[in-house]
Amino acid sequence: MKLIYEKSQAGRRGIGVPKPDLPVPEVPDELRRKEPPRLPELAEPEVLRHFTQLSTRNFGIDTGFYPLGSCTMKYNPRVNERVVGLPGFAALHPLVEDDAAQGALELEWELQEILREVTGLDAISLQPAAGSQGELTGLMLFRAYFADRGEDEQRRKIVIPDTAHGTNPASVTMAGYELTPVRTDARGNVDVDDLRAKVDEHTAGLMLTNPSTLGLFDENIEQIRDIFHGAGALMYYDGANLNAVCGISRPGDMGFDVVHINLHKTFSQPHGGGGPGGGPIAVRESLAPYLPVPVVTRDGATFRLDYDRPKSIGKVRAFSGPFGVFVRSYAFMRAYGPALREMSEVAVLNANYLLARLKEAYDLPYDRLCMHEFVLSARSLKREHGVTATDVAKRLMDYGFHPPTVYFPLVVPEALMIEPTESEARETLDAFAEAMLAIAREAAEEPETLKEAPHHRPVRRLDEVRATKQPVVRFRFDEHERPSGVGTHQLEAPKGA
Amino acid sequence: MKLIYEKSQAGRRGIGVPKPDLPVPEVPDELRRKEPPRLPELAEPEVLRHFTQLSTRNFGIDTGFYPLGSCTMKYNPRVNERVVGLPGFAALHPLVEDDAAQGALELEWELQEILREVTGLDAISLQPAAGSQGELTGLMLFRAYFADRGEDEQRRKIVIPDTAHGTNPASVTMAGYELTPVRTDARGNVDVDDLRAKVDEHTAGLMLTNPSTLGLFDENIEQIRDIFHGAGALMYYDGANLNAVCGISRPGDMGFDVVHINLHKTFSQPHGGGGPGGGPIAVRESLAPYLPVPVVTRDGATFRLDYDRPKSIGKVRAFSGPFGVFVRSYAFMRAYGPALREMSEVAVLNANYLLARLKEAYDLPYDRLCMHEFVLSARSLKREHGVTATDVAKRLMDYGFHPPTVYFPLVVPEALMIEPTESEARETLDAFAEAMLAIAREAAEEPETLKEAPHHRPVRRLDEVRATKQPVVRFRFDEHERPSGVGTHQLEAPKGA
Amino acid sequence: MSFLSLTDADREAMLAAIGVSSIDELFRDVPAGVRFERELDVPPALTESELQRHLEELAAKNVVDEVCFLGAGIYDHYVPAVVDAVLQRGELLTAYTPYQPEMSQGVLQAIFEYQTAICELTGMDVSNASGYDGTTVAADACFVAKHATGRTRVVVTEATNPQVRQVVKTYAPGFGLEVVEVPHDGGTTDPDRVRAAAEGAAAVIFQQPNFFGCLEPAPDLAAAANDAGALPIAHVDPISLGVLEAPGAYGCALAIGEGQSAGNAMSYGGPHYGFLAARSDYIRRLPGRIVGETVDLEGKRGFVLTLQTREQHIRREKATSNITTNQTLLALAGLVHLSLLGPQGLAELGETCMALAGYARQSLADAGLEPLFPDKATFKEFAVRTGRDARLAVTAARAHGIYPGYPLGRDYPGLDDALLVAVTEKRTVGEIDRLVEALSR
Amino acid sequence: MSFLSLTDADREAMLAAIGVSSIDELFRDVPAGVRFERELDVPPALTESELQRHLEELAAKNVVDEVCFLGAGIYDHYVPAVVDAVLQRGELLTAYTPYQPEMSQGVLQAIFEYQTAICELTGMDVSNASGYDGTTVAADACFVAKHATGRTRVVVTEATNPQVRQVVKTYAPGFGLEVVEVPHDGGTTDPDRVRAAAEGAAAVIFQQPNFFGCLEPAPDLAAAANDAGALPIAHVDPISLGVLEAPGAYGCALAIGEGQSAGNAMSYGGPHYGFLAARSDYIRRLPGRIVGETVDLEGKRGFVLTLQTREQHIRREKATSNITTNQTLLALAGLVHLSLLGPQGLAELGETCMALAGYARQSLADAGLEPLFPDKATFKEFAVRTGRDARLAVTAARAHGIYPGYPLGRDYPGLDDALLVAVTEKRTVGEIDRLVEALSR
Ligand SMILES: Cc1ncc(COP(=O)(O)O)c(C=O)c1O
Ligand SMILES: Cc1ncc(COP(=O)(O)O)c(C=O)c1O
Query: Per-residue confidence at D441, pLDDT binned at 50, 70, 90?
Result: confident
The whole-chain average pLDDT of chain D stands at 97
Which of A54, A78, A84, A332 is most worth mutating to test chain C (most C CB atoms within 10 A of its CB)? A78
**Could you give the CA distance from residue A20 to residue D433 in angstroms, rounded to a whole number?**
14
Contacts of D84 in chain B (CB under 8 A): 78, 82
Residues of chain A contacting B, Cβ within 8 Å? 7, 9, 43-46, 48-49, 52-53, 56, 61-64, 75, 77-78, 423-425, 427
Distance from CA of C156 to the nearest CA of A (A): 42
Confidence (pLDDT) at A484: 47
Give the chains touching B; criterion: ≥3 Cβ pairs < 8 Å.
Answer: A, C, D
Distance from CA of C266 to the nearest CA of B (A): 6
Which pairs with CB-CB distance under 8 Å and at least 24 residues apart come from B100-103?
B100/C62, B100/C63, B100/C66, B100/C398, B100/C403, B101/C62, B101/C63, B101/C268, B102/B302, B102/B303, B102/C61, B102/C62, B103/C57, B103/C58, B103/C59, B103/C60, B103/C61, B103/C62
Backbone angles phi, psi at C231, to 5 degrees: -75, 125
Query: Per-residue confidence at A492, pLDDT binned at 50, 70, 90?
Result: low
Q: In angstroms, what CA-CA distances link C311 with A204, C326, D256?
A: 80, 13, 62
**Could you give the CA distance from residue A335 to residue D47 in angstroms, rounded to a whole number?**
6
Residue in C3, C8, C82 nearest the CB of A45: C3
CB within 8 A of A313, min separation 6: which ones? Answer: A137, A140, A141, A144, A290, A291, A292, D170
Higher model confidence: residue B229 or residue D309?
A: B229
Distance B275 CA to ligand 2 centre (A): 11
- At C258 the three-state DSSP class reads strand
- At C101 the three-state DSSP class reads helix
A77/C81 Cβ within 8 A: yes
Distance from CA of B24 to the nearest CA of A (A): 25
Contacts of A15 in chain C (CB under 8 A): 2, 47-48
Which strands, in side-by-side order, build the sheet including D126-127?
D126-127, D274-278, D254-258, D231-236, D203-208, D153-157, D178-182
Which of B47, B56, B75, B350 is most worth mutating to test chain A (most A CB atoms within 10 A of its CB)? B75
Residue nearest to atom 7 of ligand 1 (CA): A131
Distance from CA of D341 to the nearest CA of A (A): 6
Residues of chain B contacting A, Cβ within 8 Å? 7, 9, 43-46, 48-49, 52-53, 56, 61-64, 75, 77-78, 423-425, 427
Tens-place pLDDT, residues A215-244: 999 999 999 999 999 999 999 999 999 999
D78/C49 Cβ within 8 A: yes
The reply to whether ligand 1 has any atom less than 6 angstroms from the CB of A119 is: no
Confidence (pLDDT) at C309: 87
Confidence (pLDDT) at B481: 62
- At A234 the three-state DSSP class reads strand
Residue A85: pLDDT over 50: yes
B78/A48 Cβ within 8 A: yes
Ligand nearest to the CA of B168: 2
The one-letter amino acid code at A347 reads A
Query: Burial, B26: exposed, middle or buried (Cβ in 10 Å; 0-12, 13-18, 19+)?
Result: exposed
Mean pLDDT of D284-302: 97
Q: Going by DSSP bridges, is the β-strand pair D418-422/D406-407 parallel, antiparallel, or unpaired?
A: antiparallel
**Could you give the CA distance from residue C106 to residue B52 in angstroms, rounded to a whole number?**
9
The reply to whether ligand 2 has any atom less than 6 angstroms from the CB of B265 is: no
C324/B132 Cβ within 8 A: yes
**Could you give the CA distance from residue A281 to residue B195 in angstroms, rounded to a whole number?**
83
Confidence (pLDDT) at B493: 67
**Could you give the CA distance from residue C214 to residue C229 in angstroms, rounded to a whole number?**
26
Confidence (pLDDT) at A491: 41
**Could you give the CA distance from residue A324 to residue A269 in angstroms, rounded to a whole number?**
10
Nearest by Cα to D125 from B292, A476, A466, B361: A476
Tens-place pLDDT, residues C94-153: 999 999 999 999 999 999 999 999 999 999 999 999 999 999 999 999 999 999 999 999
Mean pLDDT of B324-334: 98
R_g of chain C computed on alpha carbons? 25
Tens-place pLDDT, residues C44-58: 999 999 999 999 999
**Could you give the CA distance from residue B469 to residue C398 in angstroms, rounded to a whole number?**
58
Mean pLDDT of C25-52: 98
CB within 8 A of D321, min separation 6: which ones? Answer: A170, A174, D140, D143, D287, D288, D310, D311, D312
Residue in A46, A62, A78 nearest the CB of B425: A46
Query: Per-residue confidence at B486, pLDDT binned at 50, 70, 90?
Result: very low
CB atoms within 10 A of CB B191: 18
Residue A487: pLDDT over 60: no
Confidence (pLDDT) at A401: 98
Tens-place pLDDT, residues A384-416: 999 999 999 999 999 999 999 999 999 999 999
**Could you give the CA distance from residue A186 to residue A183 in angstroms, rounded to a whole number?**
10
Query: Per-residue confidence at B38, pLDDT binned at 50, 70, 90?
Result: very high
Confidence (pLDDT) at B484: 46
A273 interfaces chain D, CB cutoff of 8 Å: yes
ipTM above threshold 0.95: yes
**Could you give the CA distance from residue B235 to residue B160 in angstroms, rounded to a whole number?**
11
The reply to whether ligand 1 has any atom less than 6 angstroms from the CB of A72 is: no
CB within 8 A of C316, min separation 6: which ones? Answer: B166, B169, B170
C85/D426 Cβ within 8 A: no
Nearest by Cα to A297 from A171, A124, A137, A158: A124
Nearest by Cα to C136 from B286, A203, B80, B136: B136
The reply to whether ligand 2 has any atom less than 6 angstroms from the CB of B279 is: yes
Distance B131 CA to ligand 2 centre (A): 5
Query: Per-residue confidence at A478, pLDDT binned at 50, 70, 90?
Result: confident
Cα-Cα-Cα-Cα torsion A313, A316, A319, A323, nearest 10 degrees, comes to: -120
**Could you give the CA distance from residue D36 to residue A200 in angstroms, rounded to a whole number?**
30
Residue C289: pLDDT over 50: yes
Q: For the residues of A38-94, what is the DSSP string, one character each?
A: ------HHHHHHHHHHHHHTB--TTTS---BTTS------HHHHHHHT-HHHHT--T
Confidence (pLDDT) at B489: 39
**Could you give the CA distance from residue A164 to residue A169 in angstroms, rounded to a whole number?**
8
Query: Per-residue confidence at D309, pLDDT binned at 50, 70, 90?
Result: confident
Tell me what percent of chain D is helix, strand and coil, each rounded to the nearest 5: 45, 15, 40
Query: Burial, C375: exposed, middle or buried (Cβ in 10 Å; 0-12, 13-18, 19+)?
Result: exposed
Distance A466 CA to ligand 1 centre (A): 28
Which of C27, C39, C62, C433 is most worth mutating to test chain B (most B CB atoms within 10 A of its CB)? C62
The reply to whether ligand 1 has any atom less than 6 angstroms from the CB of A165 is: yes
Distance from CA of A384 to the nearest CA of D (A): 25
Query: Per-residue confidence at A490, pLDDT binned at 50, 70, 90?
Result: very low
Half-sphere CA count of C20, side-chain side, radius 13 A: 19
CB atoms within 10 A of CB C21: 10
The answer to whether the beta carbons of residues D334 and D263 sit under 8 Å apart is yes
Residue C225: pLDDT over 50: yes
Q: In angstroms, what CA-CA distances link B307 with B292, C381, C392, C410, D62?
A: 9, 25, 20, 11, 41
R_g of chain B computed on alpha carbons? 25
A79/C80 Cβ within 8 A: yes
R_g of chain A computed on alpha carbons? 25
**Could you give the CA distance from residue A254 to residue A262 in angstroms, rounded to a whole number?**
18
Residue A481: pLDDT over 70: no
Which of A6, A17, A62 is most worth mutating to test chain B (most B CB atoms within 10 A of its CB)? A62
**Could you give the CA distance from residue B67 to residue B420 in angstroms, rounded to a whole number?**
5
Confidence (pLDDT) at B138: 98
**Could you give the CA distance from residue A338 to residue A315 in angstroms, rounded to a whole number?**
33
Residue A483: pLDDT over 90: no
The reply to whether ligand 2 has any atom less than 6 angstroms from the CB of B130 is: yes
The answer to whether the beta carbons of residues A391 and A43 sit under 8 Å apart is no
Number of residues that make up chain B: 497
**Percentage with pLDDT > 90 across chain C:** 97
Query: Per-residue confidence at D314, pLDDT binned at 50, 70, 90?
Result: confident
Query: Per-residue confidence at C314, pLDDT binned at 50, 70, 90?
Result: confident
**Could you give the CA distance from residue D16 to residue A177 in angstroms, rounded to a whole number?**
48
Residue in B9, B18, B44 nearest the CB of D2: B44
The reply to whether ligand 1 has any atom less than 6 angstroms from the CB of A240 is: yes
Contacts of D7 in chain B (CB under 8 A): 9-12
The answer to whether the beta carbons of residues B373 and B70 sit under 8 Å apart is yes
**DSSP E strand boundaries for D228-377:** 231-236, 254-258, 274-278, 291-295, 301-305
Nearest by Cα to B295 from B90, B93, B105, B107: B105
Distance from CA of B444 to the nearest CA of C (A): 23
Query: Cα dihedral sign for A285, A290, A292, A294?
Result: positive
Tens-place pLDDT, residues D181-224: 999 999 999 999 999 999 999 999 999 999 999 999 999 999 99
Residue A37: pLDDT over 80: yes
- At B116 the three-state DSSP class reads helix
